[in-house]
């Protein structure tokens, strides 16, 4: 099983996302993290069919829910649940997803991931996006009262993620996205700077290459 999982991670880093998921699933629920990461990244960047994209996110969310039951103390059970719920929300429309009650689930899973692993950089990034995206879509007042969204917290989480992973392109890209959601053109210089820095990163694996390419596309 360990060998299968290691090979699944190697496939993920190479960019063979489908093979990564197949191998991870062979290892059973123990492979949840690599399976859910590969599914989420593939669906976010490479799946062009909208229905298939949503189906990918849903399959990862189901797997993550099982993983939370099986491994409640694994921060990645919770993180990849939130990650795929967040991407699912973006793919169907955040407002629609909030009406389905997705916001509370994302917040709960991210907060749990950070209790279990306070230095989980990607969870900090995702929590920053949670606050920024909700304020962007429903405003500060409703966002704060209904979903606990807070502008200051958004910035704190983005900054913490950058401190923890100073060279990760995604930490900069999402910080840039979050700043734009919160402040629009008022902080465009900072947003552009973050994208430029992300685009100049030397990618260490396939996921980072996709991140760098998306930063270049934004520029």
Residue 97 CA to its chain's centroid (Å): 16
Q: Please report, in tens digits, the pLDDT of each residue of the chain (219 residues total).
A: 799 999 999 999 999 999 999 999 999 999 999 999 999 999 999 999 999 999 999 999 999 999 999 999 999 999 999 999 999 999 999 999 999 999 999 999 999 999 999 999 999 999 999 999 999 999 999 999 999 999 999 999 999 999 999 999 999 999 999 999 999 999 999 999 999 999 999 999 999 999 999 999 998
CA distance 25 to 21: 6
State pTM to two decimals. 0.96
From CA 49, how far away is CA 53, in angstroms rounded?
Answer: 6
Q: Are 208 and 172 in contact (CB under 8 A)?
A: no
pLDDT in tens, 130-177: 999 999 999 999 999 999 999 999 999 999 999 999 999 999 999 999
**What digits encode the pLDDT tens for the residues 50-66?**
999 999 999 999 999 99
């Amino acid at each position: 099983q360990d060998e299968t999982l290691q090979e699944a991670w190697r496939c993920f880093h190479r960019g063979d996302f489908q093979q990564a998921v197949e191998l991870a699933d062979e290892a059973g629920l123990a492979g949840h993290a690599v399976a859910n990461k590969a599914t989420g990244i593939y669906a976010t960047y490479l799946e062009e069919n909208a229905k298939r994209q949503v189906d990918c996110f849903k399959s990862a969310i189901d797997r993550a829910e099982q993983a939370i039951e099986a491994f409640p103390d694994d921060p990645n059970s919770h993180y990849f649940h939130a990650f795929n719920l967040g991407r699912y929300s973006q793919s169907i429309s955040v407002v629609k997803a909030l009406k389905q009650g997705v916001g509370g689930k994302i917040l709960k899973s991210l907060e749990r991931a950070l209790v279990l692993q306070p230095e989980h950089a990607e969870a900090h990034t995702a929590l920053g996006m949670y606050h920024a995206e909700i304020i962007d879509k429903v405003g500060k007042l409703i966002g704060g009262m209904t979903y606990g969204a807070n502008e200051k917290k958004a910035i704190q989480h983005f900054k913490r993620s950058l401190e923890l992973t100073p060279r990760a392109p995604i930490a900069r890209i999402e910080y840039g996205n979050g700043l734009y959601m919160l402040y629009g053109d008022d902080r465009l210089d900072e947003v552009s700077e973050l994208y430029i820095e992300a685009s100049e990163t030397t990618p260490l694996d396939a996921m980072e290459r996709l991140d760098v390419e998306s930063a270049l596309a934004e520029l």
